[in-house]
Amino acid sequence: MLLKKCVRVLAVAGLIVVGSGLCVSAAEEDMQKQIDGIIAALPKFAVPMREVGDRFQNMYFAAEGGNWALASYMAKYMDKAMNPAKITKPREHPNWANFYKDQFAPVNNAIAAGDMTAFTKEYTAVISSCNECHAIMGYGFIKVVKLASPADPGIDYKMTSKAGDVPQ
């Protein structure tokens, strides 16, 4: 009789252990589905790149108007706009990070210095770099040009400021 009770207890305990393992596995699967759903909802490369393009265009008009803080702000958040691609396009994001760190750095330096001559030179060089990169990656049909007016006309581009005025 005691042996039968022990066997039953062990059988029930075994079922509990197996059942709890199934629950953990199901919970892990559910969590992974949720994570995959969140990643699928994040913008890949095209949507953040659209924001990058608008900010890039706006920074020119900010610099031209002497609003160096706005130019700096646009440059900073142009880079941050690409953060979703760290998760959604992990193989492509390093291309962007290297571009911003290396090829875009002279634009940031010109903004920090408030030097319109250097800014115009470096801004123009970046446009060429963007178009070269687009072509190399198979997107040669996306050709960046400098707009005749800002992408966002609802900002005062001529408000005098310094790049250092942007809050950290």
pLDDT tens by residue, the chain, 168 residues: 555 554 454 444 454 555 555 555 777 888 888 877 777 777 677 888 999 999 999 999 999 999 999 999 999 999 999 998 888 888 889 999 999 999 999 999 999 999 999 999 999 999 999 999 999 989 999 999 999 999 999 999 999 999 999 998
Alpha-carbon torsion angle 142, 145, 149, 155, nearest 10: 60
39-45: long-range pairs with CB below 8 Å, 24+ = 39/87, 39/88, 42/84, 42/87, 42/88, 43/84, 43/85, 43/88, 44/84, 44/85, 44/88, 44/89, 45/82, 45/85, 45/88, 45/89, 45/92
Greatest distance between any 2 Cα atoms in the chain: 96
Cα 21 to Cα 13, 40, 124, distances in angstroms:
12, 28, 60
